[in-house]
Amino acid sequence: MMMVQCADLHLLDNLAGWTPMSFNIVTKNTVRDRFKSPPRPAIWKDVEDKDWNSWVWQQQKRIKSMDVLEKVINVTQEERDAFAQSHEMFNMGITPYYASLIDPNDPNCPIRLQSVPKKGELNILPSDLEDPLGEERDMPVPGITHRYPDRVLFYTTHNCPVYCRHCTRKRKVSDPSSSAANKQLEEGLAYIEAHKEVRDVVISGGDPLSNSDDRLEYILSRLRAMDHIEVFRIGTRNLVTLPQRITDAFAAMVSKYHPVFVHTHFNHPKECTQEAFDACAKLANAGCVLHNQMVLLKGVNDNPKTVMELNHKLLMMRVRPYYIYQCDLSQGISHFRTPVEVGIDIIEHLRGWTSGMAVPHFVIDAPGGGGKIPLLPQYVVKHEGKKWTLRNYKGLQFDYIEP
């Protein structure tokens, strides 16, 4: 017979008042309720929900011209000129959903800065590089970048729902001539299969979720059939720019090929909507592990308050902040780049001031293919023999003696 201790009786007494109804009252206000859906711009107010919530419709109705953009926001003359002069170099494409996040009257809206051309794109610096990360140099076969010992990047499409103005692959993204045809796809899979040292594959693009479910499942199933492939990662911004892409059918398909890691790219709290929350929930519920890779962008997220708010929202969405990238040396994005000290200062204001889960790595992806190099505030004050003098997040110093 089980003996009930006094403390247990006290606990049971406290629980006695908890009825199913009271639990419903407690859980009525869910975390999801803290995220809002953006209002639809007038141009799409009469669109049926079945169309608005269709990722195919969203792709088909992307804003690609000034004529349509002017029906959504109050376009400035600078934006009009920038579009005219940059369109041949890098297309504009904005899903109706992502456009609904733009403040129509604020030229400095963080969503607008990321999606609408600006004059800064026309300024190509001598230090800018067409291929800043040296991906083509480390490409043994078309579509495969093999830089690190045990992992490769697999380029599967040139297309994205939104052509981000800070894109590091402007040389390829939005350019149909760089599309990954079936022959290239097969050559990439053959290379991965032949190289047994590869255990981790990053499925990238463009945005790999621009592929159909069938094409993606073909890629995933081929990779999972290789004994030496342990994990793969899907690098996508669809959770941000086209959350409608994460259908129940897609989530069910992906769940067959675990472990699957999804690396996404939220840059600002405005992007954390109820639609984005639901897309992340579908993938998390399907067993995917979600990480975020934020790019540090001037005027968008270059302050600790914005980054902390973003990371807190991401954790509520079950997305772990993973990286903050210093903006690459891609051509035409120098107006987005901040001093390196800005990123270090952001980490300084996160570490210790919020939970460690909300503190990503700040890295520079070294120009020319040097790989990711982490940067941290300096916490070592002094090191003498076996004595380390360290400081904490408040600036207080402590001595640690090695054994």
Task: Mark the ranges of the chain whose per-residue pLDDT is less than 50.
Answer: 1-4, 6-7, 9, 11-12
Q: CA–CA separation, 135 vs 115, rounded Å?
A: 24
Residues with catalytic function: 147-148, 151, 160, 164, 167, 169, 328, 365, 372
The predicted pLDDT at position 332 comes to 92
Same-domain check for residues 160 and 209 = yes
If asked whether residues 67 and 189 sit together in one domain, one would say: no
Give the model's pLDDT for residue 185: 94
Q: Quick one: 252 and 356 in the same domain?
A: yes
Same domain, 107 and 209: no
25 occurs within a structural domain: no
The reply to whether 301 falls in a domain is yes
Q: What is the pLDDT of residue 354?
A: 97
186 belongs to a structural domain: yes
Is residue 33 one of the residues assigned to a domain? no
Same domain, 319 and 235: yes
CATH number assigned to the domain comprising residue 225: 3.20.20.70
- Distance, CA of 196 to CA of 383 (rounded, Å): 43
- Domain boundary (82, 117, 152) is at 117
pLDDT at 132: 86
pLDDT of residue 2: 45
What's the pLDDT at 21? 55
Question: Do 183 and 306 belong together in one domain?
Answer: yes
What is the reported pLDDT for 20? 55
Residues 192 and 292 in one domain: yes
pLDDT for res 178: 65
> According to the model, what pLDDT value does residue 174 have?
64
Residue 88 belongs to what domain range? Answer: 42-117
> What was the pLDDT predicted at 135?
87
Q: Total domain count for the chain?
A: 2
Please tell me whether residues 268 and 306 are part of one structural domain.
Answer: yes
Reduce the secondary structure of the chain to three states and give it as a string: CCCCCHHHHHHHHHHCCCCHHHHHHHHCCCHHHHCCCCCCCHHHCCCCHHHHCCHHHHHHCCECCHHHHCCCCCCCHHHHHHHHHHCCCCCCCECHHHHCCCCCCCCCCHHHHHHCCCHHHHCCCCCCECCCCCCCCCCCECCEECCCCCEEEEECCCCCCCCCCCCCCCCCCCCHHHCCCHHHHHHHHHHHHHCCCCCEEEEECCCHHHCCHHHHHHHHHHHHCCCCCCEEEEECCHHHHCHHHCCHHHHHHHHHHCCEEEEECCCCHHHCCHHHHHHHHHHHHCCCEEEEEEECCCCCCCCHHHHHHHHHHHHHCCCEEEEEECCCCECCCHHHCCCHHHHHHHHHHHECCECHHHCCEEEEEECCCCEEEEECCCCEEEEECCEEEEECCCCCEEEEECC
Do 94 and 176 fall within a single domain? no
